[in-house]
Chain A
């Protein structure tokens, strides 16, 4: 099992550009989520999904879109990148909810100039 994979590992964007951060898991987990990690702020929940076709907002959803067309994939889209979105992004998955052990990907470091 590859577990949770994220691509790319590192990305530089210019303000206003759009991009998609990819996340995939091969554990047949229903629950997937996206976090951003900023110094002194811990991890903040952006969006989460409890299954294919079902997504919901977390603590900091503005500027981000998600969709869940398959169980395996949960991409995060930045619609128009801003410097405030410079961060490290982590994807995580678990069997059915946040109450179970979360398995994290290695992260994507994003720099918006």
Chain B
């Protein structure tokens, strides 16, 4: 079945630092890829997505590019803020339509 592997956290950065959270996936067919974010005490919400190879999803300064050749969808942001502190989940949805999540990466940004 489909699966997702994320880099382990927690990731601790200073404000304005560059962020990368690695995500690789296994899936058959032509999956869609997602990043969801969970702020403290809340449910998950979509951050960005990409539906085909070489697509770049972007939102709120975050970006991720769908790399089929390396089966990756790494999340990046050029300058993080304290308000970006949250748990970030990579997810894949394949031909069955089921959405499978990675284990999540906690990001803490210090002033």
Which residues on the B side are within 8 Å of A79 (C-beta)? none
A43 interface contact, C-beta 8 A: yes
A97 interface contact, C-beta 8 A: yes
The count of chain A contact residues (Cβ–Cβ below 8 Å) is 26
A74 interface contact, C-beta 8 A: no
The count of chain B contact residues (Cβ–Cβ below 8 Å) is 22
A42 interface contact, C-beta 8 A: yes
Assess whether A97 is in contact with B97, with CB atoms less than 8 Å apart.
Answer: yes
Q: Which single residue of chain A is at the shortest CB-CB distance from B102?
A: A42
Bound complex: CA of A104 vs CA of B6, how far in Å?
Answer: 21
Bound complex: CA of A36 vs CA of B99, how far in Å?
Answer: 13
Q: Mark A14-57, 1 if CB is under 8 A from B, else 0.
A: 00000000000000000101010000111111001010000000
Which residues on the B side are within 8 Å of A90 (C-beta)? 43-44
- A-B contact sample (16 more), CB < 8 A, given A42-B102, A42-B103: A4-B43, A35-B101, A41-B103, A42-B6, A43-B44, A45-B98, A90-B43, A92-B99, A96-B97, A97-B93, A97-B97, A98-B93, A98-B97, A98-B98, A99-B99, A106-B43
